[in-house]
């Protein structure tokens, strides 16, 4: 268990804390900032989500810089991303901040790609995230962060940035999912 993998595991361990902050009805008050109202507990949850999301970049940086890329890391890193993003998206549906059909499409793609990774792993291949997959992850993180922050600071200028980013994330999610299956279509041709 090297440093990048420990950072990845810490991202997974932050998910329950995030869920508690977002779903337990703490009465820590509300503040009005940049034209939006936001509960203090939800603000704390949003910041925790952003911190957990940034660890995705940090673990990758250390893995590449110190040549600590492992098959375990190639498996754990995208899994941690999927768990964190899925948890946050489900919270957004619960809070009525994201349409359930978009969340279902995004999470379905994540399950499908994870299934593909497992099939490939069974044949001895471990697929690291490609650039399109990384763009997908970051557009999802930006969209979720903006939604969790109630579109701050863009609410002050009446720009629906959070909603726009959710659509951008959906487009990259579907596109990158199609790309993974297209690039690895040979696994289905050779399966019995």
Reading the block at residue 43, the tokens are 């603000």
55 or 128: which carries more pLDDT confidence? Answer: 55
C-alpha gyration radius of the chain: 18
Lowest mean pLDDT segment, chosen from 45-54, 77-86, 125-134: 125-134
Q: Kindly report, residue by residue over 158-187, the tens digit of the pLDDT.
A: 999 999 999 999 999 999 999 999 998 887
Which domains are seen in the chain, by residue range?
3-189 (1.20.120.1760)
Q: Name the burial class of residue 11, with classes exposed (0-12), middle (13-18) and buried (19+) by CB atoms within 10 angstroms of its CB.
A: buried
Reading the block at residue 124, the tokens are 């001895």
With cut-offs at 50, 70 and 90, classify the pLDDT of residue 191. low
Residue-level pLDDT at 187 = 79
Residue-level pLDDT at 171 = 98
Residue-level pLDDT at 121 = 77
Residue-level pLDDT at 186 = 82
Distance of CA 93 to the CA centre of its chain: 15
d(C-alpha 76, C-alpha 65), whole Å: 18
pLDDT at 192 over 60: no
Instruction: Tell me what the pLDDT averaged over the chain comes to.
Output: 91
Q: Kindly report, residue by residue over 59-73, the tens digit of the pLDDT.
A: 988 988 999 888 888
Residue-level pLDDT at 72 = 85
The single residue listed with the structure tokens 């579109």 is: 151
Q: 173: closest CA among 125, 102, 99, 83?
A: 102
Residue-level pLDDT at 128 = 64
Residue-level pLDDT at 129 = 67
**DSSP secondary structure of 20-65:** HHHHS-----EEEETTEEEEHHHHHHHHHHHHHHHHHHHHHHHHHH
Q: Kindly report, residue by residue over 106-160, the tens digit of the pLDDT.
A: 999 999 998 888 888 777 776 666 899 889 989 999 999 999 999 999 998 999 9
139: Cα within 13 Å, side-chain hemisphere: 21
């Amino acid at each position: 268990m090297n440093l990048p993998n420990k950072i990845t595991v810490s991202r997974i361990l932050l998910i329950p804390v995030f869920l508690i902050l977002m779903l337990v009805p703490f009465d820590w008050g509300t503040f009005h900032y940049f034209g939006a109202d936001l509960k203090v507990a939800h603000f704390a949850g949003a910041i925790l989500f952003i911190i957990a999301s940034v660890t995705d970049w940090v673990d990758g940086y250390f893995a590449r810089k110190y040549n600590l890329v492992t098959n375990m890391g190639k498996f754990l890193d995208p899994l941690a991303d999927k768990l964190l993003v899925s948890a946050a998206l489900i919270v957004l549906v619960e809070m009525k901040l994201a349409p359930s059909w978009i969340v279902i499409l995004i999470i379905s793609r994540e399950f499908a790609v994870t299934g593909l990774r497992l099939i490939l792993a069974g044949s001895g291949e471990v697929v690291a995230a490609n650039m399109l997959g990384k763009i997908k992850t970051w557009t999802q993180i930006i969209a979720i962060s903006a939604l969790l922050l109630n579109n701050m600071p863009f609410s002050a200028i009446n720009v629906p940035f959070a909603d726009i980013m959710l659509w951008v994330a959906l487009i990259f999610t579907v596109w990158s999912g199609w790309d993974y299956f297209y690039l690895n279509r040979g696994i289905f041709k050779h399966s019995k």
